[in-house]
Amino acid sequence: MSRRMQMSKFLLGQISAKLWCRNLLHQPVRSMGSKSALFPAIANAADYPQQAVLEELKMPFSRAMIGNFFQERPKLGNQFLEDAMLQSYLKRHLPPVVLEEVSQDLDRFSQRLVEEIDALGRECELNPPKLQQYDAWGRRVDDIVTCSAWKRMKNISAEEGLIAEAYERKYSSWSRLIQVVKLYLYFPSSGFFNCPLAMTDGAAKVIESLGTPTPLQNAFRHLTSRNPNHFWTSGQWMTERRGGSDVEGTETVARLQEDGTHTLHGYKWFTSATDSDMTLTLGRTIDEHGNTVQGTRGLSLFYLELRDAEGKLNGIEVQRLKDKLGTRQVPTAELLLDGAKSLMISPEGRGVASISNMLTITRIHNTIGAAGSMRRVINLGREYAAKRFAFGKLLQDHPLHIQTIARMEVEARGAFLLLMETARLLGLEETNLATEQDQHLLRLLTPVAKLYTGKQALAVVSEGLESFGGQGYMEDTGLPALLRDAQVLTIWEGTTNILSLDVLRSVIKSQGQVLTAFFSATEDKLQAALEVPDLSKSANITLQALQQLKEFTKNAGLKGGSYMELSARDFSYSLAKIYIGSLLLEHAAWPGASDTDKYCAQRWSQQELCPVYKAEASGSYNSEAQVLDKQLVYERSPLTKGKL
């Protein structure tokens, strides 16, 4: 078939679309200039049978070529009003007066997200920060140039009290939970401004837990301000080239000055939000003979402001901005500290212990990001399913497609409840209302929630992108950024393995008390569900999994450190799955729960809830398994040269 004939067939096909013809006939005809210029392929149309039809329709050529069908895009709705689990959770937990007030604010904020903030977030993604190292006259300036939308995010964060809410404690212990809900709604639209907010929140928490000493009162006021002109953000500089997971290798040294301050000398390998106003960082004090104390015992915590009153950097050189897979909106840099003036704010040698409060907060922020990303991709995916046709019907009418999204929904609801639980416990602790059991649970659940939800977010967001078909892969839909950004949730603030080891540490340090708290809280949560006919089977399955976990803990405790270490990841997953199961069942047993709440809890309990028990039975943690794992990984690797 000649090219002209092919064109003719294509155009006929287009014309036969009745709807399209009708629309076109009612459209005003634009001035089209010379026909041959617009229709080069059929300029010589005497022998071209469709030309008369085209003439009659006055069809603009470009429209004919690209076709008439355009898929309607998924629209972002009011994320507060559309979130069934969030609504029912708040209704179940908040006192009615607080619920009323807070709901109004969250509704308003969510509308602002749709009308203003979401577009700013996209702008941040499209205009990543740049480093301008020198000015026109060759002077080193190290300016980090961020877009106006990024700056606007800082103002919005202050206006909305995204940090202040938690520290004003207007609603007592509920203030923390309400702040977390607001951040959860904000996260996917924030252009990753949530990253500096996480560290800002962490810094405020550290300062508050140190009793807000006089030299830090000003900083605390800035960090928790609702006034955009006063609001500060903070960094958290822990990672050096030798390690982020293992801060023992920290090389930065701190020299005591006559005025009692210290100057810092070192190289920070990852510093996000380098445009922040202040930071907390670790350094090793050095005496006049150049001696330092090695190990984490030699590390202290330091406070410094990044720029002086004239805007000059405080003994800091920005070496370069990192070229990252995602979180491109965030200026993550490598910094040389070359005499940065700082204040030691922990007792000497207690740096790691003192910064742990910051890690609790940033890990909860990570969980916020995980739950928020899952929610966003699902809500957009279900919107799309109601607009996209395939095989003669909407995607929402293909049960297999909806089953796929429903599985994501179960995961997202579980993650949300685990997030709320840690926020609730944190709120209680911050207002001195936490029992001993609450405190142990918070210690245990913070790393569990971070590691589990970070991993699940990546899986759910990836599945979510697939639910858009090819469009999920297209950069200009904004969807791929969700996936790129989700990858970081498993890495920063502690990787999955490092946090699993932290879970073990919490068990050992508390001499098992965190586990006793876990077992008892889980059993309590399951009580009501055991009495509900639709839920009792699932509650019993969860209790059985809890029993398996208890058995594993008893056995593994006798087998020594390396056995426990090898099981750490599966152990943490088991804690997460069992606890989420109990949270879903507790929620479903609430008299105000819906049928979908019950269905969701039942679905959760149908998975393997105690993977550590099964893996132990198959010998996964034995010393032989350790050897075989290594052989499997390094088989034929030139590194081993046949020796393992």
Q: Which is nearer to ligand FAD, 306 or 584 (CB)?
A: 306
Structure tokens at 187: 């996260």
User: What is the closest distance, in whole angstroms, from the C-beta atom of residue 574 to ligand FAD in the complex?
Assistant: 18
The amino acid occupying position 108 is R
Closer residue to ligand FAD (CB): 175 or 342: 342
In three state form, how does the secondary structure of 54-65 look? HHHHCCCHHHHH
| Alpha-carbon span 599 to 592, nearest angstrom | 14
Shortest spacing between CB 499 and ligand FAD, in angstroms: 9
To ligand FAD, the closest distance from the beta carbon of 273 in angstroms equals 7
Q: How many CB atoms lie within 10 A of CB 261?
A: 16
Helical spans, DSSP H, in 395-491: 399-430, 436-466, 479-487
Instruction: List residues bridging with 134 in a β-sheet.
Output: 140
Using CA atoms, how far residue 205 sits from 164, 439, 521, in Å, is 11, 16, 26
Tokens of 82: 């559309």
CB of 198 vs ligand FAD, minimal distance in Å: 9
| Shortest spacing between CB 321 and ligand FAD, in angstroms | 11
Q: Which is nearer to ligand FAD, 200 or 236 (CB)?
A: 236
CB of 490 to ligand FAD, least distance (A): 9
Q: Which is nearer to ligand FAD, 76 or 153 (CB)?
A: 153
* CB 320 to ligand FAD: min, Å: 14
- Contact 462/326 with Cβ under 8 angstroms? no
Write down the least CB distance from residue 252 to ligand FAD, Å. Answer: 11
Cα distances (Å, whole numbers) of residue 573 to 13, 503, 561: 55, 11, 19
In this structure, are residues 394 and 79 in contact, taking their beta carbons and an 8 Å threshold? no
**CA-atom Rg of the chain in angstroms:** 29
- Which tokens go with 622? 């034995």
Q: Which is nearer to ligand FAD, 8 or 274 (CB)?
A: 274
CB–CB of 266/388 below 8 Å? no
Smallest distance from the beta carbon of 464 to ligand FAD, in angstroms?
21
- Minimum CB distance to ligand FAD, residue 626 (Å): 12
Of 8 and 354, the one with the shorter C-beta distance to ligand FAD is 354
CB 276 within 8 A of CB 235: yes
Question: What residues are paired with 215 via a beta bridge?
Answer: none
> Nearer to ligand FAD by C-beta: 119 or 247?
247
Q: How far is the CB of 327 from ligand FAD (least distance, A)?
A: 5
d(CA 492, CA 43): 61
- The CA distance from 593 to 643, in Å, is 60
- The nearer residue to ligand FAD, 129 or 427, going by C-beta atoms, is 129
Query: CB of 434: closest distance to ligand FAD in angstroms?
Result: 28
CB nearer to ligand FAD: give 281 or 467. Answer: 281
Long-range contact set of residues 410-414: C-beta below 8 Å, sequence gap at least 24:
410/600, 410/603, 410/604, 411/374, 411/456, 411/459, 411/460, 412/85, 412/371, 412/374, 412/375, 412/378, 412/460, 413/85, 413/584, 413/600, 414/580, 414/581, 414/583, 414/584, 414/604
Beta-bridge mates of residue 130 = 145
Select 439 or 497, whichever has its Cβ closest to ligand FAD. 497
Identity of the residue, 501 or 609, whose beta carbon is nearer to ligand FAD in the bound complex = 501
H/E element holding 340? strand 333-344
Q: How far apart are the first and last CA of the chain?
A: 65
Nearer to ligand FAD, 163 or 589 (CB): 163
Residue placing its CB nearer to ligand FAD in the complex, 130 or 230: 130
Q: Minimal distance in Å, beta carbon 565 to ligand FAD?
A: 7
Q: List the alpha helices (DSSP H) in 40-147.
A: 51-57, 61-66, 84-93, 96-112, 118-126
Give min distance, CB of 542 to ligand FAD, in A. 29
- Distance between CA atoms of residues 124 and 148, nearest Å: 8
Least distance (Å) from ligand FAD to the CB of residue 357? 15
If the CB atoms of residues 485 and 597 are measured against ligand FAD, the closer one turns out to be 485
Q: Concatenate the DSSP letters of all residues of 277-333 into one string.
A: SEEEEEEEEE-TTS-B--SGGGEEEEEEESB-TTS-BSSEEEEEE---SS-TTS--E
The residue type found at 596 is T
Report how far residue 426's alpha carbon sits from residue 139's, in angstroms, rounded to the nearest whole number: 47
Enumerate binding residues for ligand FAD (CB under 6 A): 235-239, 243-246, 270-272, 324, 327, 332, 488, 491-492, 494-495, 497-498, 501
- Closer CB to ligand FAD, 365 or 598, in the complex: 365
Q: How far is CA 617 from the centre of its chain?
A: 34
Residue nearest to ligand FAD (CB): 244
